[in-house]
């Protein structure tokens, strides 16, 4: 590691005490444990540059990029070169020159990182001097489990807390939100525009609109042609992002019965304990189902079989 320009990984200011990745504690085994680097050193390596999101939290944005983040984090074992949709590292800048930078990464115990010795399957916060690009020791700041939260007080002299929060209950692909306290992050994902139904011939449009709550990993839905049992469309669990709007249009035959079913695996629906989620279904321009308050399942049947 030192030959690649990496310095020690610290915890509490003590060298070698960060065991979430390499460059911390020294192990005697010749072929293990199988571990990768922490977020600060992963950023320094440059290996995941196309899967790194950088934010600069400030009271007033100054045109220098994103000021907050909300989205899903992936472990280094799930990194795909050239796929910027899979965020592996979040770098948090202090806009004041020469200050520390912070790094948020998901320490997924999988494949080449299966043997990580600390903070397994947790969101890890580390820091390094300056921009994190030069050789300097890293410091372990926090380990967050699902629904865990950490706050930097008076971040960058703003007088506000910067809150890093894991907003999903599942540990596999954690949804993370980073924002100054009192502000609302709209997310780093572009909104999905509502498509305009344009079905031709004797076909009708079914439009499914879903607005997720803060725990999108619990939500799934399906649209089925009941006459034949054919699946028309679906969104599986763990495929949607938090607090985001989705809209899908399907052109179907003008004769047929359809069933729309939406489910929440935690049995608290889409509204209104953890955000204002909702759903609606339009059939040939008319709303046939809508809501948000339900427990584990809500469904609607419309149309008729020949």
Q: How far apart are CA 37 and CA 29, in angstroms?
A: 17
Given a contact cutoff of 8 angstroms between Cβ atoms, the answer to whether 36 and 42 are in contact is yes
Q: How far apart are CA 16 and CA 26, in angstroms?
A: 7
Res 89: pLDDT: 93
Averaged confidence pLDDT in the chain: 82
Query: pTM surpassing 0.75?
Result: no
Q: At 231, is the secondary structure helix, strand, or coil? A: strand
| pLDDT confidence bin for 279, thresholds 50/70/90 | very high
Residue of 87, 66, 69, 70 lying closest to 78 (CA atoms): 87
- For the segment 118-142, the average pLDDT, to the nearest whole number, is 83
Strands 230-235 and 245-253: unpaired
Tokens matching residue 257: 């019965």
Q: How far apart are CA 305 and CA 117, in angstroms?
A: 58
- For the segment 175-182, the average pLDDT, to the nearest whole number, is 85
- For the segment 227-240, the average pLDDT, to the nearest whole number, is 90
Strands 256-264 and 245-253: unpaired
Res 42: pLDDT: 87
State how far Cα 84 lies from the chain centre.
Answer: 13
What's the sign of the alpha-carbon dihedral 151, 271, 218, 280? negative
Report whether pLDDT(27) > 70: no
| pLDDT confidence bin for 272, thresholds 50/70/90 | confident
């Amino acid at each position: 590691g030192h030959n690649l320009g990496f310095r020690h990984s610290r915890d509490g200011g003590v060298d070698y005490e960060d065991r979430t990745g390499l460059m911390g504690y020294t192990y005697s085994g010749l072929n293990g444990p199988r571990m990768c680097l922490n977020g600060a050193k992963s950023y320094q390596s440059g290996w995941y540059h196309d899967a790194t999101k950088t934010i600069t939290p400030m009271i007033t944005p100054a045109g220098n990029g994103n000021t907050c983040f909300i989205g899903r984090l992936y472990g280094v074992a799930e990194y795909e070169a050239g796929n910027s949709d899979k965020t592996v590292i979040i770098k948090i800048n202090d806009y004041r020159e020469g200050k520390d930078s912070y790094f948020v990464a998901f320490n997924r115990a999988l494949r080449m990182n299966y043997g990580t010795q600390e903070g397994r399957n947790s969101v890890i916060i580390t820091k390094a001097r300056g921009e994190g690009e030069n050789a300097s020791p890293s410091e372990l700041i926090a380990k967050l489990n699902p629904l865990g939260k950490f706050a930097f007080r008076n971040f960058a002299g703003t007088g506000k807390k910067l809150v890093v929060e894991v907003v999903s209950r599942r540990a596999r692909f954690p949804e993370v939100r980073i924002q100054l306290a009192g502000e609302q992050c709209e997310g780093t994902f572009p909104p999905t525009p509502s498509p305009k139904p344009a079905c031709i011939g004797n076909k009708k449009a079914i439009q499914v609109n879903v607005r997720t709550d803060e725990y999108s990993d619990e939500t799934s839905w399906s649209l089925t042609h009941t006459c034949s049992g054919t699946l028309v469309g679906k969104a599986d669990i763990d495929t949607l992002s938090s607090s985001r709007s989705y809209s899908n249009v399907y052109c179907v035959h003008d004769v047929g019965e359809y069933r729309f079913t939406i489910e929440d695996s935690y049995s608290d629906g889409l509204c209104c304990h953890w955000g204002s989620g909702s759903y609606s279904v339009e059939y040939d321009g008319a709303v046939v189902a809508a809501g948000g308050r339900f427990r584990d399942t809500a469904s609607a049947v419309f149309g008729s079989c020949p």
